């Protein structure tokens, strides 16, 4: 079975030494009392839960999967999953970053981010059950009626109930404007909802007393397309007068998807047969309301691949230190052994360092965007809230797509380190690869995230959001431009920033002539942006490590070595990406469709 050690030291480095989150959060009245000791204590306990409770169930869930009792239309989760969830609730983890007004602990979202990274490393499939509940809570908190908030938020906060997001239909995936599920108004102000939903994560299970489904559907007078979609809250069990789950609602699981990975997560086909629900927000504006949950889910999926990257790296590095194969080309290194450990071989180190650089860079970005959300929600400065909202919007598709692309690369590399033992199921590496590959697809494929970034987040506002991040990068470059020790990090960062500015202008001009040019360049463009963001955080981490290395702590030496690897071996990918983006639409459209 794979092992997992929560990366507490690196999390503390990012939180306290690089981003200085305590100082940032203390400026928000809601978090004025937060301190590093409290944060570290929470992270330590979260790590114990992930490593001791969830990790032993990861391969169990993969082997057993979920089962559907077709006659009863009930889903059973793998052995131990329900018991682990009971311990999760008992520990108060669902309430960690929830508003105290609804029973939450009111701690910062950056802690929730780190909790979920560790749970995803230990058992991504299990973590998907509570994973959408926080998004459902925030959606209802932002758009629900007072009655809905009073009914659902305390129970979602406590973990007594869980939430789902019901968007996709058999004929309608990314293009939600095509959905057909209908909602018929009733005299008492409720709605009867009928239709089919598919690919619903945690759509049915026995782990919580109720499931709160947030369902997109159309009212009878709805206009066509995405402007005619409304949002409804549809509980699995109707709510009794005392607030407890009552009669079974008419929403049923009719099938489970048999997937390549995350087998312990129940991916359900749901049938709504006149299920009773209530409207969330305004009629025909449900998609805008649901985006609160959708954006949270996209950040969550990026975090899933971050978790997999970390755990795959840990196991591959341990294996490489022990596995004996051949001698180093420059001569034997372990002369007392019949062969050298494979960690002496340059290409094994390339694969390991790639995974490590993507894990540690991804962690810095993920914590940073969680801090932005904390300030967006808690700052008493309206300008700061807007600034944080704009940066969050810009970075969300990058977190989802860049981190999941990197997770696929990293887990594949780590399986390769094992050689033939990598695809043997007992070692767990092939499961990480299968799980990671799924993350690039759901919650909006990475191509869709790329279109969102270039089309909506950059070109739609003439680059205003991108310039905000660009100013942060430029300020860092200016502050450190004369530091000789920082040149190897600052110069490539500044150069890529200039190249991205030119590329953005060029693509904007092309798009004015033919909008399809956006689609031709978007995937390459997002990856260039992702590297700019990573280069910025790696430069920041290198600066801290340079200042601290004199103390002799090997942690900082490793950080600097990884930073140098990133700038020397991974960042140069951007040259080819920029050239590919500039190649434009013509090479993609030249072939006649009939020849494919």
H-helix segments, 235-345: 286-322
H-helix segments, 159-236: none
Distance CA(212)–CA(233), nearest Å, equals 7
461: left (phi over 0), alpha (psi -120 to 50) or beta: alpha
The residue whose two tokens read 């904007």 is: 508
Name the token pair of 351: 């694969």
Q: What is the DSSP pairing of strand 191-201 with strand 182-185?
A: antiparallel
Q: Is position 478 annotated as part of the catalytic site?
A: no
Length of the chain: 596
Three-state SS at 161 = strand
Instruction: Please count the CA atoms within 13 angstroms of the CA of 449 that sit on its side-chain side.
Output: 33
Question: Measured between alpha carbons, how far is residue 501 from residues 87, 305, 583 in Å?
Answer: 50, 29, 17
Yes or no: say if 415 and 427 are a contact pair by the CB < 8 Å rule.
no
Phi and psi at residue 388, to the nearest 5°: -65, -40
Yes or no: say if 105 and 365 are a contact pair by the CB < 8 Å rule.
no
Distance CA(275)–CA(55), nearest Å, equals 37
Distance CA(12)–CA(6), nearest Å, equals 11
Three-state SS at 378 = helix
Q: Which long-range contacts (CB under 8 A, 24 or more apart) does 167-170 make?
A: 167/197, 167/216, 167/290, 167/294, 168/197, 168/198, 168/199, 168/200, 169/195, 169/196, 169/197, 169/198, 170/196, 170/198
Name the token pair of 206: 């026995």
Yes or no: say if 261 and 437 are a contact pair by the CB < 8 Å rule.
yes
Catalytic residue from among 443, 478, 484, 593:
443
Distance CA(504)–CA(517), nearest Å, equals 12
Name the token pair of 81: 């999953």
Q: What angle is formed at CA 535 by the lines to CA 534 and CA 537, rounded to 5 degrees?
A: 65
Name the token pair of 120: 């995803």
Report the catalytic residues.
443
């Amino acid at each position: 079975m794979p092992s997992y050690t929560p990366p507490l030291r690196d999390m503390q480095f990012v939180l306290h030494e690089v981003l200085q989150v305590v100082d940032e959060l203390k400026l928000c009245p809601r978090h004025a009392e937060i301190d590093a000791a409290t944060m570290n204590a929470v992270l330590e306990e979260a790590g114990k839960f992930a490593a001791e409770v969830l990790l032993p169930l990861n391969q169990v869930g993969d082997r057993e999967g979920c089962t559907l009792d077709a006659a009863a239309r009930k889903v059973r989760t793998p052995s131990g999953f329900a018991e682990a969830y009971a311990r999760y609730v008992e520990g108060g983890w669902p309430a960690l970053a929830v508003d105290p007004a609804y029973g939450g602990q009111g701690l910062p979202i950056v802690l929730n981010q780190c909790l979920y990274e560790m749970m995803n490393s230990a058992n991504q499939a299990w973590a998907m059950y509570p994973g959408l509940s926080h998004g459902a809570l925030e959606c209802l908190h932002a758009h629900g009626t007072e009655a809905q908030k009073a009914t659902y938020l305390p129970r979602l906060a406590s973990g007594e109930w869980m939430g789902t997001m019901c968007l996709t239909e058999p004929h309608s995936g990314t293009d939600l404007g095509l959905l057909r599920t209908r909602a018929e108004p009733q005299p008492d102000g409720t709605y009867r909802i009928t239709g089919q939903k598919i690919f619903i994560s945690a759509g049915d299970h026995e782990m919580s007393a109720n499931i709160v489904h947030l369902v997109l559907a159309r009212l009878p007078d709805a206009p066509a397309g995405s402007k005619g979609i409304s949002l409804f809250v549809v509980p699995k069990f109707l709510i009794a007068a005392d607030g407890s789950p009552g009669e079974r609602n008419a929403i049923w699981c009719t099938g489970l998807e048999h997937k390549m990975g995350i087998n312990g997560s129940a991916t359900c086909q749901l049938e709504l047969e006149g299920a009773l629900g209530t409207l969330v927000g305004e009629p025909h504006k449900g998609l805008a309301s649901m985006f609160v949950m959708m954006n949270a889910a996209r950040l969550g999926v990026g975090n899933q691949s971050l978790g997999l990257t970390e755990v795959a790296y840990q196991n591959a590095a341990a294996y490489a230190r022990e596995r004996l194969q051949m001698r180093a080309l420059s001569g034997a290194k372990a002369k007392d052994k019949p062969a050298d450990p494979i960690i002496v071989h340059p290409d094994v180190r390339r694969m390991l360092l790639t995974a490590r650089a993507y894990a540690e860079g991804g962690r810095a970005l993920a914590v940073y965007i969680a801090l932005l959300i904390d300030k967006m929600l808690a700052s008493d400065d309206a300008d700061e809230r807007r600034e944080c909202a704009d940066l969050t919007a810009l970075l969300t598709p990058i977190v989802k797509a860049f981190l999941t692309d990197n997770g696929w690369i990293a887990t594949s590399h780590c399986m390769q380190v094992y050689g033939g033992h990598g695809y043997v199921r007992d070692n767990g590496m092939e499961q990480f690869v299968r799980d990671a590959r799924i993350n690039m697809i759901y919650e909006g494929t990475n191509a869709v995230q790329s279109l969102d970034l270039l089309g909506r987040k950059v070109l739609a506002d003439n680059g205003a959001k991108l310039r905000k991040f660009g100013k942060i990068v430029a300020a860092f470059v200016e502050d450190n431009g004369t530091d000789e020790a920082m040149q190897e990090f600052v110069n490539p960062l500044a150069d890529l920033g200039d190249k991205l500015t030119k590329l953005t202008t060029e693509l904007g001009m092309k798009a004015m002539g033919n909008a399809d040019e956006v689609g031709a360049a978007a995937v390459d463009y997002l990856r260039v942006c992702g590297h700019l963001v990573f280069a910025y955080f790696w430069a920041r981490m290198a600066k801290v490590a340079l200042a601290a290395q004199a103390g002799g702590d090997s942690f900082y030496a490793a950080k600097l070595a990884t930073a140098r690897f990133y700038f020397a071996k991974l960042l140069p990918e951007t040259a080819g990406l920029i050239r590919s983006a500039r190649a434009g639409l013509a090479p993609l459209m030249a072939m006649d469709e009939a020849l494919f």
